[in-house]
Amino acid sequence: MSGPFDREHTDAWCAELPDVEALNKSASDAVLALVERVRSSAARGALAPPASCALILGPAGAGKTHLFARWRKRLGSSASFALVRPGIGVEITPRYALREVVDALARAVGSSDLRQLDLVALRALAHATEQRSVATADLLHNVVGLDDGARRGAVERALDAFEGIYPGIATTWLDRLLRVPFASTSVERRALHAYLSGREPDEMQLARLGLREGLAGDEALNALRSLAVVAAVSAPLVLVFDQLENLAGGADHGPVRAYASLISELHDTVPGAVVVQMALDAEWDERIRPALAAPQRTRVEGRRLTLALPRPEECEALIRCWVAGLSPSERRGDFPAPFTGRQVDEWCATPAITPRQLMIACREALRTPARGAREEGVDSLANRGPASPKAEADERADKRNGFEALWGDYMARARRELDDASRNGRGLDESRLSAALYATVAAADSGAVAVADRRASHQIEVRRADGIGRVFLLQDTNARSAATKLAKVLEVTGTAFVLRERAFALPPSWKQTLSRLTELRARRPSAFLEVDREDLARMLALHDMISAARSGDLTDPSGRVITPGDLDAWVSTERCAPARWSIVDGHEDPQNFDPLGRC
């Protein structure tokens, strides 16, 4: 069945959103007001106001992601939305944030063909060429109809205008952003996207863009600043960081501190941006907040909003809203049908029920009327007595089947992600691969610990009691940067593993890179590991499941919440064992080991 009761995990980018706006209204309105502040400044012709930060905290299932979907629905094309979710163990740097933001802005606005990025660029051009009141469709027509010289002129005028107001903005990056609406071929669009997102364009793309190299790491923050001030004139940038609990952990709080530094930088130097942060309340208070320095805390927690759980009348409004999405035959009469009045009363009276739990209770009642749940209500769930051995065995089997189904779903998602990257002519991003590696090392239960190298995101140390293995990710799309990276690997002592997707094999024309690999093998214990698509998919699936479990967002098909502990137990015994990372088991003889422990 797929219906209004099957959406306990809100799709942040969904087109349809059943919503009870009274729920979490104050947090929702607070963010809308921040966006309005930027828009009204632009309408007055004033400078964009300083960035504003809001922190929204709540338990799993309280509706944090739902709020993001609500803002999108309410603001439509009046704001530009980006959703950033940190990977496990990786630090969110300005480049990481830029990549996620540009990827999000590449999504279509509503049902139109236009992407958020196109709109930002089009409106920036309109702003600079005094066409502010022209409708978007006409604007597109006007822009597409321009000849090359006129396009160049429009971009130059826009650049001059913005640089005059905001000196020091990243003009090269902004120049490429303003060219986005003119890109007529997918090759051109891919090249622009690679550069704008801070990824490394390949040689062909660089030549097409008229550049010698991609965006430098230290330019990423300025690129974000440029994007925010350009977006502020028409559709302010709403930058939402979700699932921040994934930052927690680690003795040195590296990911938390890197994140807090980034938010402080955004707060201080990126005018016009609305930065919204969302996390589990307890995790924030117990693990993240204590790791923040006082100046960071005042910026990060600029406006702290705690999501309240629905009151009984709001619970009923939610059920009514969901029931309205059923077909008349499924509804079987007037409300409370298809439920009984007693069921609805009992759900609404259950203390501290989250919207997600409420939806799961409704779905279970719809699915299992024969079991008498309709008459028993939720109290029967809360007060179950000791289970019989048979019931326990059934529960174990249900649990196992639930994990199997989830694993299938996550593997399918991971394969889709790899296919998307492949279609765009690139491999998996190094930060994503790093996060997948961290998760896999942690799940391998080998006593090993993966540690990020602050100086280079592509470098990971896998520490164990008897030694350290260094893993270098070589996902580069550019021969020169791959060779440069390998030159640095050669300088590092100890065992080295160089990792690259097999589907993204090193071209034979990258002679310097290949020769440095040969030199590396000759000099010291090392291995060049080409990872198969399926192994990579397993690592990604495992990472995403762990990440969801940490956020309390992992539920099996029957709605049962799967905790990180449950997942850990399953990973150590069940089918995803092939995804275990055993790099440290074989590092003494790195030429002859199977890093992924394939079955």
Partner 1 sequence: MARRKNPALDAPPVGLAARVEADVRASGAIALRRLAKGAGLSRRGEALLHEQLAKLGLERTGTVVRVPLARQLDAALAGGELTSVTRLRTKVKGASAEELRRAVARYVGAGRAHLVVREGRPYLAPPDAAVLAREELTALAAGAASLAAALRTTRARGAAPPRTILRADMAEALAHLTASVKPQVPAPSEARGALAHALARLAPTGDELVSVPRLMRALMPTISPEAIREALLDAHRAGAIELRPHSSLDPLPAADEALCPRGFGGAPLSYARRIDAPTGAR
Interacting residues with partner 1 (CB under 8 A): 24-27, 30, 56, 58-60, 245, 248-249, 280-283, 285-287, 304-309, 311, 350-354, 357-358, 361, 378, 381-384, 550, 552, 561, 563-565
Asked if residue 305 lies in contact with residue 57, where contact means CB atoms within 8 angstroms, the answer is: yes
Least Å distance, CB 542 to partner 1, is 17
Q: Which two tokens stand for residue 23?
A: 């729920």
Q: Least CB distance from residue 346 to partner 1, whole Å? A: 10
Q: Give Cα separations from 179 to 148, 152, 196, 234 (angstroms).
A: 11, 9, 11, 17
Minimum CB–partner distance for residue 490 and partner 1 (Å) = 39
Closest to partner 1 by CB, 281 vs 453, is: 281
User: Does residue 338 have a cis peptide bond before it, meaning omega lies within 30 degrees of 0?
Assistant: yes
**Residue with smaller CB distance to partner 1, 357 or 526:** 357
C-beta closer to partner 1: residue 243 or 457: 243
CB of 535 to partner 1, least distance (A): 27
Output the DSSP codes for 165-230. Answer: HSTT--HHHHHHHHTGGG--SHHHHHHHHHHHTT----HHHHHHHT-SS---GGGHHHHHHHHHHH
Measured from the CB atom, the residue of 289 and 458 that comes closer to partner 1 is: 289
Q: Nearer Cβ to partner 1, position 162 or 403?
A: 403
Cβ-based nearer residue to partner 1, 27 or 178: 27
Closest approach of partner 1 to the CB of residue 501, in Å: 31
- Are 179 and 192 spatial neighbours (Cβ–Cβ below 8 Å)? yes
CA atoms within 13 A on the CB side of 577: 8
Q: CA-to-CA distance for 209 and 194, rounded, in angstroms?
A: 10
Structural contact between residues 96 and 432, judged by C-beta atoms closer than 8 angstroms: no
Q: How far is the CB of 360 from partner 1 (least distance, A)?
A: 8
Structure tokens of 51? 């960035």
Q: How far apart are the first and last CA of the chain?
A: 35
Measured at the CA of 402, the angle between CA 399 and CA 406, to 5 degrees, comes to: 140
Min CB(314)–partner 1 separation in Å: 9
Of 590, 597, 593, 596, the closest CA to residue 495 belongs to 590
Q: Which residues of 300-319 are buried (b: 16+ CB within 10 A; e: fewer)?
A: bbbeebebebbeeebbbbbb
Nearer to partner 1, 104 or 305 (CB): 305
For partner 1, give the closer residue by CB, 310 or 590: 310
As measured in angstroms, the least distance from the Cβ of 85 to partner 1 is 16
What angle do the packed helices 355-367 and 312-323 form, to 10 degrees? Answer: 50
Residue 305: in which H helix or E strand, if any?
strand 304-306
Query: Least separation, in Å, of the C-beta of 267 and partner 1?
Result: 19
Judging by DSSP bridges, how do beta strands 237-241 and 467-473 pair with one another? Answer: unpaired
Closer of 305 and 366 to partner 1 (Cβ): 305
Q: How far is the CB of 40 from partner 1 (least distance, A)?
A: 23
In angstroms, rounded to a whole number, what is the distance separating the alpha carbons of residues 533 and 126? 44
By DSSP bridging, strand 52-58 and strand 274-280 are: parallel
Tokens of 91: 């630090």
CB of 93 to partner 1, least distance (A): 23
> Given the complex with partner 1, which of 378 and 576 has the nearer CB atom?
378
Our CB check for partner 1 shows the closer of 25 and 502 to be 25
